[in-house]
Structure 1
């Protein structure tokens, strides 16, 4: 047994285990959504898609706390690190409680705006938000310290618990499907807390950090929050706007399209999770960071290309296999949506890379083109095809300006590669 363990440690790196775990988690989340789509049908799935989209929005907001925690878990040590973590937990608590209150208070208005069958689903979802933020800070520590086994486990417990609890209740109880999905999501936040670093959690500790440390944290937090806002806009505004402007049937069809097309982004996400701490560590050690960026860009571009080609040549087969014949009318749009997502995934790698280096122009560029996407969809939404085409336009323009910034900023380094 010891020989097998030694062999695994020798030939399989922690990063590879983490990436395999992320694939399993993403696969489980995909299965969750696919089963909901098949069981509920397009109209009810539209409500489910709103909750899943709210979950993605929440994950991007909480990712600000996770990335800040990850970065400064690399840079800070000893007492400074402990004070920093306590401060992050306190801020995460107050912010998440405020968010929770707002969603619960405006649950009726949310139901009206998104044309959902229930406001209770927003109440249940809102009550779970503080647990999610604590989970994200905990993950940030694991990410920054490269404790990838523990990081993987938190994602696995969240995914598996949501999958099992949701479908168990769907099978056993006669409740509104949107309420059941909200309950499953709420419970998964609690399971995702484990393993939890209780030794780092203390509200009684006095969080004394010097002015320079506070300035570093504040600046990175603000720009990261801004960038995650752009992620929310680019990744989720289309589904939310389609749910508002189109009927439930079309919104459900579009949600299935988005779920399949976004597989590119979810695969890219696992590379981003590894990229930030690696770049911060290389910069801290005075080593070049450009090679690691180019390696990940090649990975994402290759994977994106393969997925787009598959969606182009086999759209009907993919949709029928995953969601069933009820959604097959979306087949002509599948490769186009995958193209928009693939272009965004590549742009995203550049933005996260520069974010790690405290260079914020690419982050601002992402925000500008994210808002452009929203404005275009608000004014032009005559059909689902038009919505997808506008996203392709916005993402192509974003990639062009990101690449322009990259080549201008790295003229000297590129010559020696």
Structure 2
């Protein structure tokens, strides 16, 4: 008698596949930044950091279109969905062209404000902006329909192309210039459109969206745009303000600190991507939504705590391994910056949770504390350490207010 052994392999769910993919993409983006930091050195890396920050700002602006698309891809169906997608593609393209044109037009002014060595890098970056908005709407459809495999591919395509093209140009032609980095970013936007849903892609719609739905979309768009603005302020204002107030060498050191300290935020982002469509679907089905928030807050709190402890115990090891000895001056501040981003990552989950439920008070709260952070840094920037301390103060207060709001809201309900 022949014995046969069958091994049952548990198939990975689309959500798990997407989470793995996000980790890989974040790892690739970190590798991209780390190599640039090592190759360019603190002074030149400061210019690269401005471009990378502009890319993050662009991603938050375009995220408005992605989240709106994701939300209403869950709610709308058939003719209403097709009409909505046509309209959102049209509006995203118009906005992308206008935003890109502004960056190109003010390229020389941006060079002066941020003390960069070239204005051409802003021109090249601006040319690619419309592509990024198309890419974001495409991703929004995948996110809303929970097509996480396709969503994973578009993020990987963008990351891998930017990594390989930029580093290829630097190492093959020995060109260490911010223009090369801008070219790599521009080309990566094209690759980020893969896979693109050409079927059904149109700027025209034959079906008029009912006014009640149209108002719902506009309201959610405006609130989301406001919240993404607060994300831009909280996430990127410190790097841009440091680049404005400090010398290039110090700004480059701070950019390396920010890159390492933000690990927890970028890991948290994959939970936000899963949170929004899940909460909307649960609400649509009349089910309880708070447990999914508790689940993701718990994950982020544990991850943040581990990263902060690691940064506190081994700051010099982390900086030396990732950036090299040139950046060691930032070692004492590493755990503090990680603490600030960890607090923000957790409070961010509360805001996106309520945004998914069409509850907007936490969004306004985030906006107020984003402005508070900017104000604190503008008035208190005698040293890089003081800049970090101001962010910790703002983020502690933000998280406390978000938690208090959630507790009061749950008691009322």
1:199 shift after superposition: 1.3
1:13 shift after superposition: 1.1
Distance 2:337 2:139 in 1: 31
1:55 aligns with 2:55: yes
1:4 maps to: none
Contact 1:104 1:123 survives alignment (8 Å): yes
Distance 2:68 2:26 in 1: 23
1:79 shift after superposition: 0.8
Distance 1:402 1:203 in 2: 39
Contact 1:82 1:200 survives alignment (8 Å): yes
DSSP 3-state at the match of 1:164? helix
TM superposition score normalised by structure 2: 0.97
1:172 shift after superposition: 2.5
Distance 2:143 2:204 in 1: 25
1:223 maps to: 223
Unaligned stretches of 5+ in structure 1? 1-6
CA RMSD of aligned residues (A): 1.3
1:173 shift after superposition: 2.7
1:200 shift after superposition: 2.5
Unaligned stretches of 5+ in structure 2? 1-6
DSSP 3-state at the match of 1:128? helix
1:106 shift after superposition: 0.3
Range with bigger deviation, 270-279 or 195-204: 195-204
Distance 2:229 2:175 in 1: 34
1:10 shift after superposition: 4.3
2:297 maps to: 297
Deviation string, structure 1 residues 285-344 (Cα, Å, up to 9, x no partner): 000000000000000000000000000000000000000000011000000000000000
Deviation string, structure 1 residues 247-301 (Cα, Å, up to 9, x no partner): 0000000000000000000000000000000000000000000000000000000
Contact 2:65 2:137 survives alignment (8 Å): yes
Contact 1:87 1:207 survives alignment (8 Å): no
Contact 1:84 1:207 survives alignment (8 Å): no
Alignment of 1:161-176 (within 5 A): 161-175=161-175
1:117 aligns with 2:117: yes
1:171 shift after superposition: 1.8
DSSP 3-state at the match of 1:11? coil
Deviation string, structure 1 residues 154-189 (Cα, Å, up to 9, x no partner): 000000000000011112335451000000000000
1:267 maps to: 267
Distance 1:154 1:203 in 2: 22
Contact 2:87 2:204 survives alignment (8 Å): no
Alignment of 1:157-196 (within 5 A): 157-175=157-175, 177-196=177-196
Distance 2:207 2:377 in 1: 45
TM superposition score normalised by structure 1: 0.96
DSSP 3-state at the match of 1:116? coil
1:403 maps to: 403
Contact 1:28 1:163 survives alignment (8 Å): yes
1:392 maps to: 392
1:18 shift after superposition: 0.4
Distance 2:147 2:9 in 1: 14
